[in-house]
A and B are shown apart, each in its own frame.
Chain A
Amino acid sequence: MSSLSERPANPVVGHPIPHEAADLHVTGRALYTDDLVGRTKDCLHAWPVQAPHAHAAVTRVDTSPALDVEGVVRVLTADDVLGVNDAGVKHDEPLFPTEAMFYGHAIVWVLGETLEAARLGAAAIEIDYEPLPSLMTAREAIAAEAFQGAQPHMERGDIDRGLQDAAHVFHGEFEFKGQEHFYLETHCALAMVDENGQIFVQSSTQHPSETQEIVAHVLGLHSHEVTVQCLRMGGGFGGKEMQPHGLAAIAALGSVLTGRPVRLRLNRTLDMSMTGKRHGFHTQWRVGFDADGSLVALDATLTADGGWSLDLSEPVLARAVCHIDNAYWIPNVRVNGRIARTNKTSQTAFRGFGGPQGMLVIEDILGRCAPLLGKDPADLRRQNLYGPDQTTPYGQPVRQWDRLERAWEQVVTDGDITRRQQEVARFNATHADSKRGLALTPVKFGISFNLTAFNQGGALVLVYKDGSVLINHGGTEMGQGLHTKMLQVAATALGVPLTTVRLAPTRTDKVPNTSATAASSGADLNGGAIKNACEQIKERLTQVGSQHFGVSPADIRFEDGVVSAIGSRAEPMLWADLTQRAYFQRVQLSAAGYYRTEGLHWDSSIMQGEPFKYFANGVAATEVEVDGFTGAYRTRRVDIVHDVGESLSPLVDIGQIEGGFVQGAGWMTLEELVWDESDRPTRGKLATQAASTYKLPSFSEMPEVFNVALLQQAHEEGAVYGSKAVGEPPLMLAFSVREALRQAAAAFGAPGGSVELGLPATPEAVFWAIEDARSGRTDGGVERGSRAQQHVPDQPGPDAHPMHPRSEELASEPAKA
């Protein structure tokens, strides 16, 4: 057992404790960025002018009418930018654009004494546009060959030979929509100029260090002149990884130019119409199975719909390519990826970060092909799970293949699957107007940022003379319970009660150069860093204790706030007495901690290596019932077994699994981004840009019976206190909902039929699948045999360039002054 993963006796980690801020949440006293406005004097409010075109050149801007509106203080335009007019890190996102790239693109911003004044001012501004041709879908972009960024290519084995030798070959396409984050708290930033020109920005951001960098470059300042703080977020889900930066920069710019605090808060309409979402994908595939139904070859081309700029589309696509295998061994693989440039919001990170999109492709293939192979879908999935000594298509060994198998068997046993499959069959045989489906799907999800450089974390731990402990770390709290876990890690590492430790808000002037709290890595990276800082302090205190007790340092024990010495007759001493003593002996009681994930190597130009520290594993079984008259359905029961390693905080982890599942189920079944693809003047407008039209899961979508178990005997050798990351992987457990719906819909037709099912599988989509089943259109929308062979997915054009291993590139770049 490594020192990183080893737990001391009676650790504070592992206890199921509520969220550290739960009492503040329930009483309404927890502060979010916009709650600070009431405590800020003379605050100005910002509101944008949004372009009413999918794509248009801005030919004239007249801001003067806004200044005639009472209460309007200033209009911010490109001319006001003090540094670089860019909201991103790839220099393709002008903060104040001269070309509207999507419907709702913010062109200029108005600052008002009140929100009402800013909104009226924005309405008064005159902008002329010259409409330009626009692309609204990945299909349109493919036809126009409008791509952006790198085109990753991953290959193993011999795809042609594999398909030739396969007993069954199928071809199909699959196009699916993205997902809106719909964090309950919309984007918000509050900026002010502090003492001595210091810019202080409070932002609802998952990536304070990058928000700081962007604010600095827009203002023409250095990073040390800008401090970004994030108290907490009302949800992030990846939507606040890149998207907050430009908004924070607008607020900061306004504050510098007016000398007053500026609040920029997007309301829901602005948030949905301006900020990026999960990427929808267009995919083409050929797949080969042997006579028994084992996968032998997969040839696929994934086209991510990136929207108007690159944002995080390249790493999202890389992760999609790396997750197309999900939990299945496929000997011969060829996957090409590319990013469509369309006139939509710039799509971005969202829980799973491309992984779900890749995994969806294989799950959709298996769901459609199983009946065509004469197989029960659950059996087909089970037989293709990774086994011993197998590696992923990018060359990483699947060391914990046995955990997938264990999780599967436990779901089958605890979920009473065999009996319930019979029950479903009986129900379907006796009900003409409603049918049930029961599906099992696995999850194997790689943990670590694909970009190796991001896999580092920092912390600052301060111990005061009275023994009280204050911890800071680089991660942000968005509801995932990171702070709760970090308090538990610190208390465990120092051997003190949880109440001894307090956590201070995330700030860039405490811990610099942090990575985004993303990729499920928050607890791994920051936990490693906090543990490291605590151990530095404990080592010094051990010396003090050793002198006091007159024993070897190896015999000093810290437990529950008491310090004792093995084999000493001296009375144990209180932690606080030891820290007091240490102070007087001039021993440093604070430490900066650091952690970096060891053992990663990755070459994205050839898409080979070991980019992940480990995989998180899980299996879900979902039973649904579908109404044949309408396509409406209910989720009757869900059973999940999921691998979180040895849990740091079980209540938090269960919450992540349940919440991730329901969020995934929302994407699978309900949440629908509908963009106006017509040629009307509203072309490009998001038709579902409100809670009333974009429907999140509510209580009515919660599974009626919801059983979640953590996989036991799951110690993770390579991570803090034996735990595993949990934020993203459970989302993909919800694929079982869609597959169950597919099976229920197919049950309306003759046995053995396969149906295509839209995504999201809304009642309407399910109804059409039922109609297909009833009318005998049950080929699953796939072609088979030699016809399938001929459908070679699009291959990269001559201009395509591979991914760059950006971490290496940066390392060789000379430092900027």
Chain B
Amino acid sequence: MTNSPSQSPQITVNGTRRSLARTPSYLSLLDYLRGQGLTGAKEGCAEGECGACSVLVSRPDGAGSSWVAVNACLPPAVGYDGQEIVTAEGLGGSDGLHPVQEEMAHRGGSQCGYCTPGFVCSMAAEYYRADRAPTAHGADSATSSTTVAMDTGAETATDHEHGPNGFDLHALSGNLCRCTGYRPIRDAAYALGRPSAQDPLAHRRNEPAPEAVPTRVTDGMHEFVRPSTLHEAMTLLGDDRETRLVAGSTDWGVAANLLMARSPVLVAIDRLPELRELHEGPDHVEIGAALTLSEIERRLDGRVPLLAELFPQFASRLIRNGATLGGNLGTGSPIGDSPPVLLALESQLVLASTRGERVVPLADYFTGYRQTIRDSDELIKAVRIPLPLAASAAFHKIAKRRFDDISSVAVAFAVDIEDGVVRRARIGLGGVAATPLRAYETEAALEGRPWTLQTAQAAARVLGATGTPMDDHRASSRYRAAMLRTALLKFHSQTATQEVDA
């Protein structure tokens, strides 16, 4: 990165450079594109739920790059200064359809067509995923399997969610269609081959993604800054203005669109190298706060099983391509999905400011509804997960919908059982109080006791009385309390089954 902020911000859309000058910081990438006369990306919800606005962005991937699908409705357009994006129009047009478009069109994947360009972009990202490879057992499950065993434990993908071509249906978890019932879209996805050697977007992956360009743009009332260093970001955070940090903007974008939230200063930290490190040491794993959840998922590759269980249940692929752990913890929301997991893992946070750094246990971090011990000049630099990990772990998310929903209750378990006795239990909870909670009393009710149904039932009664769950449109307080209770019984049944299986 260079140090001089961009004077004439611009973005490359479908291979053409367009100016971002005079673009207010509150204008989303979607509204910018539509203002440019591009009609492919649509607004369906303006909160990153429907995916009608999905576009492809070139992101760093090793020495080369990858095409990543994101919701255009959430990030500020000026945050894409120097970046390269592709919309449905850029994939194909009157001179010929892209293979993804071809499959979608001819298999009846579009009816009203409004969600279609977004589906096409999300599907294209998966089409271009470098490590997508045909699955051994996927071939017959896509169309004819009748008895896929349901994994009543983890809400992870089962076979029908992967195509014979290696297509992961979760790539489309952030796209909603109200017309088709999805079957033809799935068939289109599972029929895709591999990109040809001549495919320009496939070829583009061999080149590095554009670097983040330091940017400073204002319309007089709203300033957008992409600092070039962490120090610059921390300095901005320390000044007197009401500064808002954004990474993927998956939370802030919703407020900006629907609540008309406006900030005098938006500071984009998603590409600061200091916040994007992932380090696996002997004592802990340290995860940079600005890595996207998708990046963490790929780089850890299952080495923290509880996180691996969390990611497919965390919002959608489109959101995970923008959202960060720093953001999920930074908002302080009691219903974020990462805090219960990170609490069960006994994580620590590295908080940084121009005054220096401090390391705090996550369990001490939340102080009240959307309140934390983080000072106004501090940012979350990294999350530390101590090693070794507990041997048994599970994440139970209670929600109405399996893909892309906000949990009414979330429970994470990290438990060590030796010789049939619970040696150590760590339980993190979300959705049952004004803050995420550690279930200390339940942990105490488990530790040192034999891992029997009786122990689980006794501890379940304790867990069921934890927190102060409320009634809202997601669930009743009674159901929330019941879910706390049954979570432990379900965990017992899962671990008991595992023992039998082993």
Contacts and interface: CB of A to CB of B under 8 A. Distances in A.
A26 B52 CA distance: 12
B108 A267 contact: no
Main secondary structure of the interface of B (DSSP, over half): loop
Contact of A629 (B108, B260, B404, B490): B490
A184 B89 contact: no
Interface stretch (A311-319, A455-463, A565-573, A632-640): A632-640
A414 to B, nearest CB: 12
A26 B94 CA distance: 11
Nearest to B114: A234
B112 interface: yes
A234 B180 contact: no
B373 interface: no
A119 B262 CA distance: 13
Contact of A691 (B26, B49, B91, B93): B49
Interface in B112-136: 112-117, 120
Interface stretch (B170-178, B293-301, B325-333, B345-353): B170-178
B437 to A, nearest CB: 19
Give the residue among B175, B408, B486 with the most A Cβ atoms within 10 A.
B486
Contacts of B258: 267, 269, 690
Contacts of A585: none
A763 B473 contact: no
A480 interface: yes
Interface residues of B, number: 96
B311 interface: no
Contact of B112 (A35, A234, A268, A705): A234
A23 B105 contact: yes
A519 B167 CA distance: 38
B1 interface: no
Given A658-B183, A699-B403, A28 B108 contact: no
Nearest to A272: B45
B416 to A, nearest CB: 23
A19 B112 CA distance: 9
Contact of A184 (B42, B120, B399, B402): B42
Q: How large is the interface on A (under 10, 10 to 19, 20 to 34, 35 or more residues)?
A: 35 or more
Given A27-B97, A663-B181, A479 B111 contact: yes
Given A28-B89, A651-B108, A699-B186, A659 B180 contact: yes
B491 to A, nearest CB: 9
B479 A704 contact: no
Contact of B181 (A268, A661, A767): A661
Given A434-B152, A479-B113, A690-B258, A659 B181 contact: yes
A25 B39 CA distance: 10
B150 to A, nearest CB: 5
A764 interface: yes
Interface in A301-342: none
Nearest to B111: A479
B359 interface: no
Contacts of A672: 400, 473
A547 interface: no
Interface in B28-76: 34-47, 49-50, 52
A184 B489 CA distance: 40
Interface string A18-56: 110111111111111011001100000000000000000
A28 B117 contact: yes
A19 B111 contact: yes
Interface of B: 24, 26, 34-47, 49-50, 52, 87-89, 91-94, 97, 100-102, 104-117, 120, 144-146, 148, 150, 152, 158, 160-161, 169, 172-173, 175-184, 186, 254, 257-258, 260, 396, 398-406, 408, 472-476, 479, 482-483, 486-487, 489-490, 493
Top-8 shortest CB links A-B:
A28-B40, A479-B112, A234-B114, A25-B113, A662-B181, A691-B49, A28-B88, A479-B111
Given A232-B113, A629-B487, A692-B406, 4 more contacts: A434-B152, A659-B178, A695-B400, A702-B182
25 contacts: A18-B105, A26-B116, A26-B120, A28-B40, A29-B40, A29-B93, A38-B39, A183-B178, A184-B52, A184-B178, A185-B44, A234-B113, A268-B44, A433-B490, A479-B112, A481-B111, A627-B152, A629-B487, A630-B398, A630-B490, A670-B400, A691-B49, A700-B401, A703-B183, A763-B399
Interface of A: 18-19, 21-32, 34-35, 38-39, 116, 119, 123, 182-186, 232-235, 237, 267-269, 433-434, 478-481, 625, 627, 629-630, 632, 634, 636-637, 651-652, 654-655, 658-663, 670, 672, 674, 687-688, 690-693, 695-706, 762-764, 767-768, 771
